[in-house]
Structure 1
């Protein structure tokens, strides 16, 4: 028997009571020639209404009502009240009969007084208090009491559309929260089984603290182990519909998974108050604040394993993006499609503080000594396996240390530090975020620290590599305190030391002056790579790659001469190649050796270097 049939069968007793009440009313109804006949239903009209449908026999309450009573802690009398109020929502005959019994054709809903009467209860008895604001029917959102300006017994009762739909078998989420919620269930793992046993035994409020992702998958498995589906809600999209969220969870017999709690504000206290008996798992970045509710949860620190720290819903969306990219290209899904799908889940908050770079270079584009390349490889290995090494194997225990990976790239401007960061990001399938120091450094005391804290907090929500270019500007050495300025500068450095140590992401610092960095920073770094000036062989490879395969070259172009004679960094060589290309384009011909030499001379002037004719001979 379906939910709708069960409910219709359960209305049988309600119809019998209504017929009895109608019979009693007909015995004292006004005469047919009453001048106000049009304002009420006559006995003859009531007879016709009753004749429209047969009197129902006794029917079972059905599992749907049994589960409803269990989930909302309803008494048998509450269920009876609910059915009386439900009747006109699904059978139009009851609307007209209730209007007749209410002696008002405009009031087709059950009133408090009518419900009590149909259930054989006195109007001044305890039954009327089952419609108070704290009673299960009302506090659970199953019944709304209307017409507060009327006397208590004359107030109409209404069932929300979602409650009516649920009783008739509809499993769709309430429209007001459908965009923020998803019903999920997954198989439990051993750890989830242990926690789930605790939930099943009575632990009703858990808090998962995490700094590196969305732990909703773990929470769903815990609830599954406790024998419940999970109603997973995004607090950033919920828009304060706490009562609706709790009602939906109770209707389904589900537990609630909700976070991040940082987005809830004062609404969190309302949720905690509404769920004393409902399994609820909250999650957020910080530690639980007792001011968030009158109940204290069991707090657990959880880590999201894997290179891409995404929750289940984000993973599903990333997979959809990857699949659609492949469909548009008319080919199977590739690794780059998956990476693009993952990057599409990045929060936009960091882009207000940093410049987002989608990597477009690879290892073949780097011209670096082999020791430096090995250090870059070590950085990617640390980023890939940090959860196993730092988490499972606990190689960085205690002290509030994060599971981040930090590196320093030191070397003169143009030696390839930024490109190396881009290559590392590409190897890991991540975006590169270059922090804009103009949005961070502030002349006012304490503001730089606040801005950096915003950068680190926003970085948690992105799948990316964080790059602090020219890092010595904000990670400089602490000095002896001689005045207030020194003291505050040292406080700023101390804050950065602590924040970097607790960071859970991947960060790279670059500097032209390694000696300017505080030694305490370098001690905390995982990888330090020194980028030297390229030698002649490396300069030859750089000239060849910067000129590229598409740019036409004249027969007199001698890049070996350029590599041997001009000691330039990779950045300067690229700048010279671009300048020469513009000269050739303006002349409408291939790039010539004269163009290259002219470009190099201009680069020397720009760098403030001495231009010697002998160095450029014979050109």
Structure 2
């Protein structure tokens, strides 16, 4: 063989058909209708090949790196995809109208000659040969079918190319992921350049790039799109063959991902699969911890941190056309992939409203959507609906809360642009403690901060997170912080008293282990890039060593009379019908309630008034206060309720229905 084309295959098929027809012992066979006649086969065999098909065949042969014999085998096997007449001819040559796919034996018969025997051709079907290892061909049939008689099917992706289809229209891989070059420069030039330099040097050592956008950083370093394979599929021949075929046809180097999913029990198997590969293994990992899943195996590790503030700001500006993107870039520490997705959401949101350029609310909405995580499965999302004017706390506490908001808004500007990250040693996340009695504004304060910044806030109940079983608390915390990774959300840990205590006062092993749990929580807080707020009713339960590690500690005092009056004013909506006898001074002075309790009383009184079909009056609010006292285990003294004491007596409401008001 000196050339490979479909014209060459036509000539071989024609010669084979003529030989079979000439040797037909019974041209008048009465069962001729059950198979293809000699005349029909001869007529079909005189078809002509296509120059376009030949050109595409040569491109595939070059892409797959096939030799002359492998190219000829591929041409014979793919002919049935190009023209159905080949299927009828192959059925005729195999003396079975149902066998329209070639078998290794038929391919050998068609290609023998010029020094080649059918046995020589069989070598091309070896399981370790290029055609099958690339997944270009697959032998169908079961173990009962002789190997040489099994039908041969070419890969659908390969058929699409030979038929002239565009590569991106070919069937999508089932367990692979196609990674294109990013729509925007992913930044982190130092890591990209280091990766490119290492990939250019021949070595069999695995190379791992760890960090956000690891896959697109590798694609940028290579200047080519990638095909990603999960490390668990390293030993799956079908998946690896499909990846190899895509890699060859589309010039997509193979990169492996999923190191974060490797369990210790699977580590040895994964290492063996990596070491068995003839070429270098390139891996992408989301974090350094995930990159270390290979244990003590020597690897070349390139670390890429998250995009810098300047890189995020520039990407937002380039992708949305918005000039001032400092705010969204500072509040949402997104990966470059997330920014690209968020910018698209922001642009579409603006277009839907007839705007050419997104507004700040569009950017925030896109960023929140790109930040979505699985945190909602483990924590309760709090509605960030409150504003600063809704919060009633002393001026000192208001200023402290505003300082937290300012830190989260400007941290990248100060630490990065102003160079403070080189002069101070600290994490970029924020660790906060809110201390105060229940209902004094701890939760609302955190919601106000979230609302101002446009961030999501999730409430985690530490009372349900802490376990009496050793090691379970850490696992629960791992799940929470793992789910929060990349969410940019504020984490509000309520009921912190369930975990904290005086760490120095250890009397037994369980106390000592509680100290370990506290230290572990602090470690997770310091590793989280967003804000973590701990809420406690008893600051005295938290030792000074822990408090010194926090960035902000805010004490929420019990509201005084004037603050209680302001709270009463705010919790009675302007739309609500109020009776003329409402006396806020009396309510604020006589009833020492927290803000949360006052809100409860306002709502309970409103429902009672609605049931009476009357405006909200003092009798409704006073009865609600009495019920709140009962919940708190407090006595309803006449000295507190004064002239309204009769209203709260048992049966007073029923009497009111008969005229007692």
Alignment partner of 1:223 is 2:219: yes
Q: Distance in 2 between matches of 1:292 and 1:75?
A: 40
Q: Where does residue 207 of structure 1 map in the other structure?
A: 208
Could you say what secondary structure the match of 1:433 adopts? strand
1:85 deviates by 0.8
Q: Where does residue 469 of structure 2 map in the other structure?
A: 444
1:511 deviates by 0.7
Q: Distance in 2 between matches of 1:534 and 1:339?
A: 34
Q: Where does residue 248 of structure 1 map in the other structure?
A: 246
Could you say what secondary structure the match of 2:75 adopts? helix
Task: Deviation per CA, 1:380-427: give whole Å up to 9, x if none.
Answer: 33334555666785839999x864322111112111000111122222
Alignment partner of 1:142 is 2:136: yes
Q: Distance in 2 between matches of 1:193 and 1:607?
A: 61
Task: Deviation per CA, 1:474-502: give whole Å up to 9, x if none.
Answer: 13332444333333333333333333333
| 8 Å contact kept, 2:181–2:220 | no
- 2:17 pairs with one of 19, 22, 45: 22
Task: Deviation per CA, 1:527-555: give whole Å up to 9, x if none.
Answer: 21121223444333211111121112223
Could you say what secondary structure the match of 1:557 adopts? coil
Alignment partner of 1:298 is 2:295: no
| 8 Å contact kept, 1:99–1:106 | yes
Q: Distance in 2 between matches of 1:237 and 1:389?
A: 45
Deviating more after overlay: 357-366 vs 342-351: 342-351
Q: Distance in 1 between matches of 2:412 and 2:88?
A: 66
- Structure 1 unaligned spans of 5+: 1-8
Alignment partner of 1:588 is 2:613: yes
Please give the root-mean-square deviation of Cα atoms over the aligned residues, in Å: 4.1
Q: Distance in 1 between matches of 2:73 and 2:274?
A: 28
How many residue pairs get aligned? The number is: 601
- Structure 2 unaligned spans of 5+: 309-328, 645-661
Could you say what secondary structure the match of 2:380 adopts? strand
Q: Distance in 2 between matches of 1:271 and 1:462?
A: 34
Matches within 5 A, 1:454-469: 454-469=479-494
Task: Deviation per CA, 1:137-174: give whole Å up to 9, x if none.
Answer: 11111110223544443332111222201332232253
Task: Deviation per CA, 1:181-230: give whole Å up to 9, x if none.
Answer: 564543544446514633662579643434xxxx33x6325414423124
1:71–1:36 distance in 2 versus 1, CA, 3 Å: same
Q: Where does residue 3 of structure 1 map in the other structure?
A: none
1:136 deviates by 1.9
Q: Distance in 1 between matches of 2:420 and 2:174?
A: 40
| 8 Å contact kept, 1:409–1:530 | yes
Q: Where does residue 559 of structure 1 map in the other structure?
A: 584
| 8 Å contact kept, 1:342–1:463 | no
| 8 Å contact kept, 1:434–1:469 | yes
1:116 deviates by 3.3
Q: Distance in 2 between matches of 1:528 and 1:428?
A: 20
Alignment partner of 1:177 is 2:174: yes
1:87 deviates by 0.5
Q: Distance in 1 between matches of 2:638 and 2:411?
A: 54
Matches within 5 A, 1:24-63: 24-33=19-28, 37=32, 41-51=36-46, 53-54=47-48, 62=55
Alignment partner of 1:116 is 2:105: no
1:610 deviates by 5.8
Q: Distance in 1 between matches of 2:229 and 2:411?
A: 29
Task: Deviation per CA, 1:73-115: give whole Å up to 9, x if none.
Answer: 4334322321221001111121122223334333222222333
- 2:332 pairs with one of 308, 314, 329: 308
Deviating more after overlay: 28-37 vs 89-98: 28-37
Q: Where does residue 284 of structure 2 map in the other structure?
A: 282
| 8 Å contact kept, 2:285–2:291 | no
Deviating more after overlay: 386-395 vs 478-487: 386-395
1:377 deviates by 2.6
1:398–1:71 distance in 2 versus 1, CA, 3 Å: farther
Q: Where does residue 5 of structure 1 map in the other structure?
A: none
1:473–1:144 distance in 2 versus 1, CA, 3 Å: same
1:187–1:70 distance in 2 versus 1, CA, 3 Å: farther
Matches within 5 A, 1:367-516: 367-386=392-411, 395=421, 403-516=428-541
| 8 Å contact kept, 2:463–2:498 | no
1:463–1:101 distance in 2 versus 1, CA, 3 Å: same
